[in-house]
Structure 1
Amino acid sequence: MVKALLEENNLNIDREVLAHLSQALLVVDANNIIVEIYGFTEQLFARSRDYFIGKPVDKLSAFGNIVGSICDRVRADQSSYSAYNIPTEEPLGEIELIDFHAIVLLIGDDVPVSNNQHVLLTVQPRKISSFVDNRNDIVAASRSLGGLASMLAHEIKNPLSGIRGAAQLISRKASSTDKQLPDMIVKEVDRVSKLVQQLESFSEITANKREEVNIHEVLDHVLRVAISGFASKAKIKSVFDPSLPTVSGNFDLLVQVLLNLLKNAVEAGGETVEIIVRTQFKHGIWVADHKGGRKRVPVEVTIEDNGPGLPADLEGHLFEPFVSSKEAGTGLGLALVARYMSEMNGNVLCENGPKSGAIFHVQMPLYEKE
């Protein structure tokens, strides 16, 4: 079968090289049926070659239905598609994250482009431990902000008090219809005041402040604040899963995390940026908790923009203190986001979108009654 496929389509593939790759490689035909495998495929899935040949690719439990649609898209566009740190539908042993690449196999210069129907899928397995190690490095770096945070907190307190007082005076004189905005200002000032108190003790873990939180209530508040201010001209689309269970976290910290990420998207993509805020339940995602164990974080909020995306030189360093892609940026906002998510036993990561823009993933543990 291998020889026939190679000779019939003149595919420029060295079988000896492919057999020793650490990635799993699958060749899919025009009907998304697996016609050949190479590399690490049998070891990754713990299945023999006979299991794969003739099977629809979207029937592989680790991939799910999305892989079939991706093959259709790259075939129609005669292009490629890549995604990184994607959780598997079901864990493959110790593997819970994969890097995924799909590309049309070019048959030959004398063959019409429309006949290039085979797709080569490349799957690079990632152990969750390597991802957790990187996350812990980010958290450790964020702890170095403690001294600076205390100084900033001292400087912030006085203007906050004046803003709150002014908003209260406006609220007293406003009609019932006009009271909404000044009341929101007071509420936001109170929330920021709590954050300032936490900044003063930034080096302390606040894990004991976690509570039961409805993530959609958090998002409703975040979107109201954003649309009333810095994102007033942005086009924001919400795609929520209303069936999501409650999470374990802190309402105010989650508001701050999501506001920071939305503001980051607006600053990166401009005032009229298009943003998609999505909630979903995802299996197979784990992070290290404060007791040294592992904790599931299946409730995910993603914030996707159509801006320029992440600069290549910042990849892997985006959540470190004082790292910023903005000319006048301080590099503190995303470091605080990483810190807050760590304190809530959650996780945050970012990747470039398949075509443009950046996608931030905020992952939260489920609330469990003690």
Structure 2
Amino acid sequence: MLASMPGLRPDQEGPSLAEQMTALPVATLVVRPDNSIADANVRAETLLNMARSAIIGSDVARTIRIAEAGARFDIWHSNKAVAAYDIKVHAGRTAEMELDLMIAPIVDHDGWRVVSLHAQSQARKIGHRGSSGGARSAMGAAAILAHEIKNPLSGIRGAAQLLESSHNGQDSALTQLICNEVDRIAALIDRMQDFTTDRTLECQPGNIYPLIDRAAGIAAAGFARNVRITKRYDPSLPSANINDDALVQVMINLLKNAAEALEHVPKPRIRVETAFRHGVSVMVGDGKGSAVLPIEILVIDNGPGVPEHILDHLFNPFITAKRDGQGLGLALVDKLVRDMNGFVQYSRDREAGESCFRILLPMGMA
């Protein structure tokens, strides 16, 4: 029990641990070493559609049942922290649902764990989607547009060039404008065609640092030349299972996105950090179990952040807050990261005044 809390007068008594547990805004369980549930809060009762008296003493593996048939993993017999995103479960007396599940060991109490259940996926709120619906819809749109638009564009360009030559250079500014605009639209279609392939990327163990440095060098020499770029690398980071070209493209897109967000910031800064994160995993379909994603790359900027009204659709194609933006850069980042069996998230630290794109990737196996 907590007798008092910081900031209270000596004669004031703070809320008990049970009262704090009740007030938690997410469904929370306390689990014993034998996997029986020792405590549950009101949110857990609501989510599981079970009375607290029925939850306490029940086996957590039976109360929260993994819905994926044939899955080769057991999250309930591990003493390590686990964060499982977009996992499908049968929880209590409810129908199948998709949620984020966090398991945290209690320090100095072997086998005891706190389990939190986020029914409305936190991963979706910060930009990650377990499904590829957004990118798949873009793939279909890109294939159609490429077929219906790109071929006529070459005819328009050819006609403009013939028009220019037949007028002996007269109205050359107008014909050049036509050619330039055709080239611009063709380049946009080329970018959209990146979505038309659903083939698996060839990934292999590799050192991420030369790839990050290459992208940072391109940024510093071009679109981010007026921005201070700093790096904070974890020197002990193992290799990641990656596709080199895809990771470079991902980093260039994120750095470009950050640089554009800093256009009107007095002292623009971008910081690239890496770290090894234990216990972060996602559930993989087709009975393959869980994928551990310990390799973390952060791209942080001190810009104004993403507008609230597009947060839920940030990684969908054609969604952008930029006046002349196309809304394809972050959609491509999401697709390439997922193709490397990782995921990307966005978050905002309002206190520090920073925005962060977080990439999590699998470790390379020698």
User: TM-score by structure 1 length?
Assistant: 0.57
Within the alignment, does 1:336 sit opposite 2:332 as a pair? Answer: yes
Residue pair 1:132, 1:287 contacting (<8 A) in 2 also: no
Q: Are residues 1:364 and 2:361 paired? A: yes
Contact 2:29 2:116 (8 Å CA) reproduced: no
The percentage of counterpart residues that share the same residue type is: 28
Return the match for 2:81 from 63, 67, 91: 91
1:10 is aligned to: 12
- Equivalent positions of 1:196-275 (< 5 A) are 200=193, 202-270=195-263, 273-275=268-270
Which residue in 2 is equivalent to 1:297?
A: 293
Name the SS of the counterpart of 2:300 in structure 1: strand
Partner-residue secondary structure (3-state), 1:295:
strand
Structure 2 equivalent of residue 169 of structure 1: none
Distance 1:322 1:124 in 2: 37
Cα distance, 1:125 vs. partner? 3.3
Equivalent residue for 1:162?
Answer: none
Higher helix share: 1
| Count of residues in correspondence between the two structures | 257
Task: State the alpha-carbon separation in 2 of the partners of residues 96 and 351 from structure 1.
Answer: 18
Q: Cα distance 1:265–1:346, how it changes in 2: closer, same or farther (>3 A)?
A: same
Distance 1:205 1:132 in 2: 23
Question: C-alpha separation between the residues in 1 aligned to 2:354 and 2:203?
Answer: 32
Alignment of 1:106-145 (within 5 A): 125-126=116-117, 130=121, 135-136=128-129, 139-145=132-138
Residue 21 of structure 1 pairs with residue 12 of structure 2:
no
Letter in 2 for 1:331: G
Larger radius of gyration: 2
Change (3 A) 1:350 1:132: closer
* Structure 1 residues 343 and 235: alpha-carbon distance in aligned structure 2, compared to 1, 3 A threshold: same
Structure 1 residue 225: Cα displacement: 0.6
Counterpart residue type for residue 12 of structure 2: N
Letter of the 1:256 counterpart: Q
Kindly indicate whether the alpha-carbon contact (under 8 Å) linking 2:229 and 2:271 is maintained by their aligned counterparts in 1.
yes
What's the RMSD between the two structures over aligned residues? Answer: 4.2
Distance 1:366 1:4, change over 3 A: closer
In structure 2, relative to structure 1, the CA distance for the partners of 1:245 and 1:335 (3 Å cut) is: same
Structure 2 distance, partners of 1:312, 1:44, is: 40
Residues 231 and 22 of structure 1, relative CA distance in 2, 3 Å threshold: same
Deviations 1:146-165 (A, max 9, x none): 14434469859x99xxxxxx
Describe the superposition over 1:13-48 as per-residue Cα deviations: whole angstroms up to 9, x where unpaired. Answer: 698864523459xxxxxxxxxxxxxx9585599998
Greater relative contact order structure (CA < 8 Å, 6+ sep): 2
SS in 2 for 1:20: helix
Q: Is the 8 A contact 1:138 1:320 kept in 2?
A: no
Amino acid across the alignment from 2:343: N
- When residues 91 and 2 of structure 1 are mapped into structure 2, their CA distance, relative to the original with a 3 A threshold, is closer
User: Which of 248, 251, 271 lines up with 1:276 in the alignment?
Assistant: 271
C-alpha change, 1:347 and 1:97, in structure 2 (3 Å) is farther
Distance 2:17 2:285 in 1: 46
Q: Deviations over 1:194-225 (max 9, x none)?
A: x9989647344332522333110111110111
Query: Do structure 1's residue 345 and structure 2's residue 347 form an aligned pair?
Result: no
The alignment's TM-score, normalised by the length of structure 2, stands at 0.58
Give unpaired runs (5+ residues) of structure 2.
Answer: 40-78, 85-100, 105-113, 155-186
Match of 1:209, SS state, is coil
- Closer, same or farther in 2 for the Cα pair 1:93/1:245, shift >3 Å? closer
Report deviation, 1:312: 2.1
Alignment CA distance shift 1:259-1:208 (3 Å)? closer
Contact 1:96 1:284 survives alignment (8 Å): no
